[in-house]
Amino acid sequence: MKSSSKAAIGRLGPIRVTNPDRSGSGARGRLRVPSDTSNVNSAGAIIVLHVKAGLSMLASKRVVEKLLEQGDLALQFPSVADLEELRLGLAKTGVTSELVRVEADETRAERNLSLHMAEHR
């Protein structure tokens, strides 16, 4: 490895490992960002969505990209252990949120409906 590459890697610093919390149940929410997105920490929002909302890193990235593009986005989260932690984490990144817990029966009914629709395509 070239010494210039080693120096560049050394400047990058440590990599933060994030593991999603998959212990919660589903939730629905609406995310919003201000029209001036310069104060939105998009990388931080991606990590919060990954760790606190059960989304994959790629899904989190796509959500944040679409949110920055549209300014307002409604979506469903697969597993949220603590709604308030998710709200606070997103608020620290400049994203406001309105979140509600989805009951297990409601989630099961939606899953069954989507499976039924997939079978008949």
Q: What is the DSSP letter of 17?
A: P
Query: For 38-96, what is each residue's pLDDT tens digit?
Result: 899 999 999 999 999 988 889 999 999 999 999 999 999 888 888 999 999 999 999 99
pTM of this structure: 0.69
Q: Strand 25-32 and strand 72-80: pairing? A: antiparallel
- Let me know how long the chain is: 121
Q: What is the CATH number of domain 19-119?
A: 3.30.1390.10
Q: Does the pLDDT value for residue 102 go beyond 60?
A: yes
